Structure 1
Amino acid sequence: MSFEIFSEDLEQVLMLIEQGIQERQTYDNALENEIIKKGIKIPKIVLSKILDATKILLTPSKHIERFIVVTGIDKSGKETQCFNPENIRGVTSINDYLSRRSHRVLKISLPSYNTLLGSLIASYLKRKNKGIQLRGEISREYAWVLWSLDRAQYNSQIVEWIQDGPRHVALSKRWLESNVAYQVVNKIDEKRILSFERNIVKPDYVFIIDIPVSVVFERIENSKERMDRYEDRELLEKVRKIFLNLNRFYPYGKIFVLNGLQAPERVNIEILEKLRDLGF
């Protein structure tokens, strides 16, 4: 299923959503009707997902525990450490490690390009995308809201999962800290994002895998993948600096920085040792 959306129509909706969330404490029919009116040209199934996410962003959530995030700039090895989809020898993914220790794991990977809201991000980044095609450009002033909407669709799921059992753990590749790091570089104040996502659940532990930007481009070249909008050398240098000073911009969770230049097995050992020390 593929949809075409004009960026100017979507940007008007994103602008309205930010204004509505910053001005309100709870979701109401007035905001919903405004969004529906403003989004009249957006396919109904997409607008419905946007409305659902907006409602979640205005729904207070309880504090949770046992939420782990792995983050860092592009190609730093997040996917390998979280899930090891390529079965690299010597690497026990965090997911497998937790499962073997009798935890049940909710797995999240952001952006979720396989969903409609994630597909909006893919199109904005100019990644290969079969879902939604954006025509025109969304300004940086409001594009960051796309990541917030994508994340919001997992909020209730995480809370319910954690509350469902004492051995339940949520594991996410990227979360709110990633949006903060990239958008601060795009001149979006972190307080604006954190206020907008005030009801999004926050992690207990954030593992940052740090690599030099030169290595990012070596890995992109070796993978023969097409670069997206954010895989820009100057931008990533600035994003890396934000990650290395994340506690100045993002006051949530205990932060660990790992040297991603090491072999994946070595990075893996360090992460698993930290998890054991934390009681997982």
Structure 2
Amino acid sequence: MSIEVPAEGLQEILKMIEGDITSERVSIIMLERKIRIKGKSFPTEVLDDIIEATRNLVFPPEPVLGKFLVVTGIDRSGKETQCFNPKGIKGVVPIYDFLRDSSYKVLKVSLPSYDTTLGALVASYLKKPSNIVIKGELSKDYAWILWSLDRAKHNNSILEWLKDDKKNMALSRRWLESNVVYQKIHGIDEKRVLNLEKNIIKQDYTFIIDLPADIALKRAEKSEERKDFYEDVAFLEKVRQLFLHLQDHYPFGKVFIIDGTNPPDVVNKQILDSLRELGI
């Protein structure tokens, strides 16, 4: 049975979160109180997760010893394969395994995290199958904050993991850079996204798997997964171009651009060779 969340109330909460978090002085106690009042009709698990994620947006991160690596790119570019290789594609050593074989302890993250409450809200907005249903229309002017909350839920676990040991690494399929790029196409300025997520940890290394949009859509047609409304050739090509110029919009960490038109094993070799050059 699906859990229903009213779009109107959710939008008011998202608007409230952005307004308070980006103000010069924010009281997390007052903000939590306002969220609970506005979301009194929400299922408890949804409201509690929104509040927990909001707390993670408030406090600046402490210095860490370990490194944070992100693999990103447009839809269907092969991020999951290179990070974790769940289908066991021949010739591909997933980055996760490579790092562990190099004596690193690795925390893995994959966004959006559709199997969580906040990730399920993202799935519902994208019209993907989800156990949570947003009832009504949510404006794109605030919908992007759903991705911010989903990411914020992971922020503290990454910080805790990385702060203790330089041999601890975090590996994420997508991070904040993805929200910056995708939402910019919808008219959401990157400064707005980065201002809300100013206290979210930024990665040390970003591997962009570059793939032309038309090839990505051909891959989508062959996939059994249901497409979301971002999977449109014109839209994805605009996203691709922003990824190719990522540091103009997201100036954090060292960026590597990998040719995603190559076979998965060739893409994999390029990524692993780059990691070796970094001394990893």
Bin for the TM-score computed over the shorter chain: over 0.9
Q: Which residue of 2 aligns with 1:259?
A: 259
- 8 Å CA contact retained: 1:181, 1:239: yes
| Distance across 2 between alignment mates of 1:264 and 1:119 | 29
Query: SS state of the match for residue 125, structure 2?
Result: helix
Q: Give the drift of 1:25.
A: 4.7
| Distance across 2 between alignment mates of 1:92 and 1:233 | 30
- 8 Å CA contact retained: 1:230, 1:236: yes
Query: SS state of the match for residue 22, structure 2?
Result: helix
| 1:235-246 pair list within 5 angstroms | 235-246=235-246
Q: Which residue of 1 aligns with 2:101?
A: 100
State yes or no: 1:199 paired with 2:199: yes
| Distance across 1 between alignment mates of 2:99 and 2:208 | 19
| Distance across 1 between alignment mates of 2:194 and 2:133 | 28
Q: Which residue of 2 aligns with 1:39?
A: 39
Q: Which residue of 2 aligns with 1:234?
A: 234
Q: Which runs of 5+ in 1 are unaligned?
A: none
- 8 Å CA contact retained: 2:63, 2:163: no
Query: SS state of the match for residue 113, structure 1?
Result: coil
- 8 Å CA contact retained: 2:211, 2:261: yes
Residue 70 of structure 2 aligns to which amino acid in structure 1? V
Is the deviation greater in 155-164 or in 252-261?
A: 155-164
| Distance across 1 between alignment mates of 2:26 and 2:145 | 18
Q: Which residue of 2 aligns with 1:84?
A: 85
Residue 192 of structure 2 aligns to which amino acid in structure 1? R
Q: Which runs of 5+ in 2 are unaligned?
A: none
| Distance across 1 between alignment mates of 2:162 and 2:3 | 35
- 8 Å CA contact retained: 1:111, 1:121: yes
Q: Which residue of 2 aligns with 1:183?
A: 183
- 8 Å CA contact retained: 2:20, 2:26: no
- Residue deviations 1:203-250 (CA, integer Å, cap 9, x gap): 000000010111111111111322112112221111111101101000
| Distance across 2 between alignment mates of 1:15 and 1:183 | 16
- 8 Å CA contact retained: 2:211, 2:259: yes
- 8 Å CA contact retained: 1:204, 1:254: yes
| Distance across 1 between alignment mates of 2:97 and 2:119 | 26
Q: Give the drift of 1:260.
A: 0.1
The structure-2 alpha-carbon separation of the partners of 1:119 and 1:125, relative to structure 1 and needing over 3 Å to count, comes to same
Q: Which residue of 1 aligns with 2:54?
A: 54
Q: Which residue of 1 aligns with 2:74?
A: 73
Residue 14 of structure 2 aligns to which amino acid in structure 1? L
Residue 180 of structure 2 aligns to which amino acid in structure 1? V
- In angstroms, what is the RMSD of aligned CA positions? 1.1
Question: Which aligned segments of 4 or more residues in structure 1 are displaced greater than 6 angstroms?
Answer: none
- Residue deviations 1:57-103 (CA, integer Å, cap 9, x gap): 00111233410000000000000000000111110000000111111
| Distance across 2 between alignment mates of 1:146 and 1:11 | 10
- Residue deviations 1:29-70 (CA, integer Å, cap 9, x gap): 211111111112211211110001111100111233410000
| Distance across 1 between alignment mates of 2:135 and 2:233 | 26
The structure-2 alpha-carbon separation of the partners of 1:158 and 1:145, relative to structure 1 and needing over 3 Å to count, comes to same
